[in-house]
Structure 1
Amino acid sequence: MSNSSQENYSFLKGVGQNFDKAAGFTRFSAGILEQIKACNSILRVKFPVKIGDTVEVIEAYRVQHSHHKLPCKGGIRFSMEVDQEEVMALAALMTYKCAIVNVPFGGGKGGIKIDKSKYTEFELEKITRRYTSELVKKNFIGPGIDVPAPDYGTGAKEMSWILDTYSSLNPNDVNAQACVTGKPLSQGGVQGRTEATGLGVYFGIREVCSVREDMERLGLSVGIKGKRVIVQGLGNVGYHAAKFFQDAGAILVGLIEYEGAIYKEDGLNVDEVIAHRKSTGSILQYVGATDLANGADGLEQPCDILIPAALESVIHAGNADRIQAKIIGEAANGPLTPDADAILLKKGVWIVPDMYLNAGGVTVSYFEWLKNLSHVRYGRLEKRFSENMYAELVNIIESLTLKKVSELERKIILRGPDEIDLIYSGLEDTMIGSYQEIREVYVNTKGVDDLRTAAFICAINKVGAAYEQLGIFP
């Protein structure tokens, strides 16, 4: 995108445009739609932190977009790009995302405007703890109020600092662990949280590719195996998505990072590319691959499935007509502008929207929140029971057939579910069921020509119904 068009584009307005397009297909009055669309609470704070010998004033935000269900839920990002508009847009997407995947949260989002690379770990801890104390003071955090999570520039470490600060300020809250998700396992986190968004992207695209009617229209075979995939971004989401696609038999023809892109028709191995990058500092000059110095050019290479898993607005009016992918899966938030949507839809590209596809993170965050409130780890109550029950069944079958199963078969059959099995199973079920809901709206709503509008309709219908049930409208 050129500098001028980049400056003119507003992510928040883009979300609003998509909302307005879908709102016309719903039954709600203008007043209810305005309430659904509005950000309920916006906190903007500036606080001093001593960095070295100087005092720095840090700018930070927390937005609670919707209170139709509580707590609010959404990540916290550390980035110099953080501003009020971006956080409001991301909080709105969280509301719609939670509604689509039937997770009972209102949308929220937070951000601290810093360049993480300029601070030591100790300084980042001071900033994070001070930010948390501001959230506590303003009642913008709590297990039943607002539950942050990791986002761009943050991870389990930052979440552990938030938990510790919240717990020290609320010593009598027995559910304090549930004030934040994405925590280390030792502090109440869940297995599978790290790869959750990438795995959700894989489950979602796998479900998309299972619909024969849609694949035939795109000129593709059913299933993931053999499909050519390009992934932009090798961070947490992009790496895990690429890995799951690769393991399922897809061909990773392209990988894109900020230093450039590489393309190889017969396929790349994502782990080998990561190892190459660690040793050389770049994905470029990978053996057998074609280098593209401008990473954006990687988006335009031939493929079946394109997964933008990095930044907002990377596909826009300036490059949309050169995109060759037949399916675009929005693993990042807002990687396509509304202008790009219009161009790609005319070309018949199947766009799987961010508010559905990257909902794996919030889905598994929901499981973590439930675990913290129940104070019981997943699998603890049922694992041995299941194993004992399976053993009884195997014994009965062996006695009836007079045949013995092998030790390996017995081991496989008798294994009860661990936490990771239950998390993966719950995420898979969520992504499959939610896509079926969206596609049903797409197929059955006259005038709806894209999945994004169908997803917004799903979200608006659920949030609007929740507001009506609250009885706040006459």
Structure 2
Amino acid sequence: MSENHYSFFKGVERNFDKAAKFTRFSKGILEQIKACNSILRVKFPVRIGDHVEVIEAYRVQHSHHKTPCKGGIRFSMEVNQDEVMALAALMTYKCAVVNVPFGGAKGGVKIDPHKYSIADLERITRRYTAELCKKNFIGPGIDVPAPDYGTSSREMSWIVDTYISLNPHDVNASGCVTGKPVSQGGVRGRTEATGLGVFFGVREACAIQEDMERLGLEVGIKGKRIIIQGLGNVGYHAAKYCQEAGAIIVGLIEYNGAIYNKDGIDVEAAQAHRATHGSLLNFPGATNIVEPAEGLEQDCDILIPAALESVIHKGNADRIKAKIVGEAANGPLTPDADEILNKKGTLIIPDMYLNAGGVTVSYFEWLKNLSHVRYGRLEKRFSENRYTDIVNSIEELTHKKLSEAERKLIMRGPDEIDLVHSGLEDTMIGSYREIRDTLASTPGVEDMRTAAFICAINKIGVAYEELGIFP
């Protein structure tokens, strides 16, 4: 298949088949895991100004081995059934890899959100939600959407309001969607979750001495030269946390140009420059790269594509200089690019693991909605009181007093955002080690993506076996 006619879903299936050979499951179970269970394609009319537009939209539920299904909704003119199926499949494997008990799903509305007013976007979103309700493709125990490319907490607030109005007796209705504003049942820490998860994953990869020695790099993220493609929510937060940890951001890439400075770029200053001038180009001290794709090929230790899929392909993979590629976007490498980079010895941290921070924190939000209690509410004061008792006892025994700043630091109990960040960090560290252990212990497996798929297939296969539907 030529890359001009590249099927994203076929690419996901290709990676699945590569990994499935290393599992113990029968052909029937593997076919069931791979298949998209339910596909909804709808067209609905919405009045836009003085005329009616017919909007095309999708919702795909890839797997029901666990319920509810989980996955974002994107607003983009690039939306098509193949893309939504592929993204839904990746959500299934992603949830399994990070031990989040959801099946995979994805949604898409084929519009350019920049061409509509806020009022028009609200009408489209609410009508789409109504269509999902009519077809039983949304609900806290059925299918739980979230933000994705072209959507945000604003659209999620419209979705939850519409769902509640159509299901007034559902006490858990606020759990029908995640990524909501905190005032509507959202969780603190969701905004930065995917980018922070990318940082935790890259940091963990850089902490493995054996792997860093193989790549000729020092252990640790500090001092690593990083290029990030895409300064949206994910790319910005990944860049921010990497820079705060001591990494050097040498390149930033956007759709209308890229900049490079081997001595480092201040992410906040570059973001402010882009907001003022509409482009990263002409940022003080940096070299302009007018063709964004060329930004991927600049010298660096770590490349983090955090935009759309298939940006690294067989046409440019051999020119990628990075020793580590962290897939913050969904499917930024085609399977052909995968093979080329793996032969070069590049460490590829796969998307189905690395960008799972969003769904992990979405899981925390969903649990919060079902429990009807804010994280930290039950233990914060208890913890602070216990820490106070400990500090007072130590001061009495040592006859020394801590400073006020030290007392505040030690005695502070966990807020919701502390617990969310802690849970995310634990998830990303544990999952990376599980994938790497699978890579090390499975003869014939030579890359992290295949190891991640093996981890996912093993967990989903066991779930299907335990359902008892296969003799």
TM interval, short-chain normalised: over 0.9
- Check if 1:257 corresponds to 2:254: yes
Aligned equivalent of 2:328: 331
Give the Cα–Cα distance (whole angstroms) in 2 for the partners of residues 35 and 276 of structure 1. Answer: 49
- Residues 33-79 of structure 1 show CA distances to partners (whole Å, capped at 9, x for unaligned) of 00000000000000000111111110000000000000000000000
Alpha-carbon distance, 1:7 to partner: 2.5
Over the matched positions of the two proteins, sequence identity in percent amounts to 78
Aligned equivalent of 2:181: 184
Aligned equivalent of 1:17: 14
Give the Cα–Cα distance (whole angstroms) in 2 for the partners of residues 223 and 341 of structure 1. Answer: 25
Aligned equivalent of 2:310: 313
Aligned equivalent of 1:70: 67
1:20 maps to amino acid: D
SS at match of 1:325: coil
- Check if 1:304 corresponds to 2:290: no
Alpha-carbon distance, 1:345 to partner: 0.7
- Check if 1:345 corresponds to 2:334: no
| 1:70-89 map, 5 Å | 70-89=67-86
| 1:39-438 map, 5 Å | 39-438=36-435
1:10 maps to amino acid: S
1:179 maps to amino acid: C
Alpha-carbon distance, 1:272 to partner: 0.5
SS at match of 2:296: helix
Higher mean C-alpha displacement, 276-285 vs 416-425: 276-285
- Residues 185-208 of structure 1 show CA distances to partners (whole Å, capped at 9, x for unaligned) of 100001110100000000000000
Give the Cα–Cα distance (whole angstroms) in 1 for the partners of residues 383 and 275 of structure 2. Answer: 43
RMSD: 0.7
Alpha-carbon distance, 1:9 to partner: 1.0
SS at match of 2:56: strand
Aligned equivalent of 1:441: 438
Moved over 6 A (4+): none
**Structure 2 length normalisation: TM-score?**
0.99
Give the Cα–Cα distance (whole angstroms) in 2 for the partners of residues 255 and 150 of structure 1. Answer: 24
1:124 maps to amino acid: L
Alpha-carbon distance, 1:118 to partner: 1.1
Give the Cα–Cα distance (whole angstroms) in 2 for the partners of residues 146 and 52 of structure 1. Answer: 32
SS at match of 2:345: coil
1:13 maps to amino acid: K
Which consecutive unaligned segments of at least 5 residues does structure 1 have? none
Give the Cα–Cα distance (whole angstroms) in 2 for the partners of residues 315 and 145 of structure 1. Answer: 35
- Residues 308-361 of structure 1 show CA distances to partners (whole Å, capped at 9, x for unaligned) of 000100000000000000000000000000100111111100000000000000
Give the Cα–Cα distance (whole angstroms) in 2 for the partners of residues 29 and 440 of structure 1. Answer: 24
1:12 maps to amino acid: F
| 1:446-461 map, 5 Å | 446-461=443-458
**Structure 1 length normalisation: TM-score?**
0.99
SS at match of 2:318: helix
Give the Cα–Cα distance (whole angstroms) in 2 for the partners of residues 304 and 295 of structure 1. Answer: 19
2:446 maps to amino acid: D
Alpha-carbon distance, 1:288 to partner: 1.2
Give the Cα–Cα distance (whole angstroms) in 1 for the partners of residues 2 and 289 of structure 2. Answer: 23
